[in-house]
Amino acid sequence: MAVKLTERQQQILELIRSEITRTGFPPTRAEIARALGFKSANAAEDHLKALARKGAIELTAGASRGIRLTGGSLAGAQHAGSLLGRASSAVTQLMVPLVGRVAAGNPILAAEHVEREVGIELALFSQTPDYLLRVRGLSMRDAGILDGDLLAVKKSPDARNGQIVVARIGEDVTVKRFARAGKRIELLPENPDFQPIIVTADDEFSIEGIAVGLIRNTPLH
């Protein structure tokens, strides 16, 4: 029997689904509080913990966007789940290259970067990924993207504000949140220990793709 949610809990669950559909990632506690008129992020945290106790979501400790919809919640979201997966009875497999460390200046899908091909379930993603990129470092920790995770990426030269992208700046490839204001472009981390990258007119800059999914490749503690 399905667990009954309060009206407020249902509102929060719908907000989480909506944000995952719109940006690919769940909202922060502060964003939930702002959207629903709570006085503080602590109030949002209390509701999230209640949803977790009822099995509607899973929470990742220490990550501001560490909210994962469970199977039951995913089944109720027809379009949500671009990065957190989606329940599906039909399983379609696709083999995609797994890219490890990218050498400076070389194309991401160069043969020397591909560790192997990996079979994935297309039902996990709202868009079909072209490759998986092994995440290095913790600059996107608060988006729930951890060192060693596999980021599903769809090749695209363009991105919308707020999307998480794989970008090339100079000879380096990085995963960051894309932000554009007029001609100013910033690549934003999701960890206060890291500084934003400001793209200048002198930089060789390109977007390699947008994140469309995440496969957790490390144990949760």
Dihedral of the alpha carbons of 41, 46, 48, 53, in degrees to the nearest 10: 170
DSSP annotation of 104: T
- Helix intervals (H) in the chain: 7-23, 29-36, 41-53, 71-75
Alpha-carbon distance values, 181 to 110, 184, 185 (Å)? 32, 5, 7
Q: Is the dihedral of CA 158, 161, 165, 168 positive or negative?
A: positive
C-alpha span between 83 and 26 (Å, rounded) = 9
Alpha-carbon distance values, 82 to 9, 74, 100, 180 (Å)? 22, 11, 22, 22
Q: Which two tokens stand for residue 198?
A: 């400001």
C-alpha span between 166 and 175 (Å, rounded) = 5
Closest C-alpha among 127, 123, 114 to residue 93? 123
C-alpha span between 164 and 147 (Å, rounded) = 16
The residues that are catalytic are 139, 176
